Amino acid sequence: MRRDLRGFTLIELLVVVLIIGILAAVAVPQYFKVVEKGKFAESMQWISGLKGAEERYLAKNGNYTSGAIVGTTFDVNLGSMKYFTASNVTNTTTPSWSITLTRATPTPAVYGAYVVTFVAPPGTLSCSVQACTDDLMP
C-alpha cells in the first residue's frame, strides 16, 4: 500500500496544543494586569482633580475641606468613579488631608479588593495590597 496521504500526526498536534497552552498561561495574567492598570488610572485622574480642588479651597477658605465629597463643596465637579468608591475626606490638625479609594467589584483572581490611600501634602500614595504596589503604582 502506498501512503500518499499527508497530514499532521497526533504528536505534532499535541505539541501545538502544548505550546498554545504555555502561551495562554503567560498571556492571560499579563492581560489582566493591563486591564487593571487602565481601571487604576481612573483613581489617579480623580485624585489629581481632587488635589487641585482642595488646593483652591485652601486658598479661598484658609483650610482644607473635610467630610463627604459633595458637588457644591468645590469649584469643580469631580464626577463619579466607575471602578472605585471614595471615603470622606479627613483632615488633621496640621494643614493636611487624606482620602481612601476602595476598588469596587475587584477581580479576586488577580488583585482582589484593594484600597488606595492618598495623603496631602506631601502627596503620598499607598496601596493595601503588595501586588497593587508593585504593578499599578506610578
Highest mean pLDDT among 4-8, 83-87, 90-94: 83-87
The pLDDT value recorded for residue 133 is 85
Contact 97, 120 (CB under 8 A): yes
| Measured distance CA(114)–CA(68) in Å, rounded | 21
Could you give the 3-state DSSP secondary structure of residue 127? strand
In this predicted model, which residue has the larger pLDDT, 13 or 109? 13
The pLDDT value recorded for residue 4 is 66
Could you give the 3-state DSSP secondary structure of residue 50? helix
The full set of domains in the chain, from first to last, is 10-135 (3.30.700)
DSSP state of 71: T
| Measured distance CA(123)–CA(130) in Å, rounded | 19
Whole-prediction pTM: 0.79
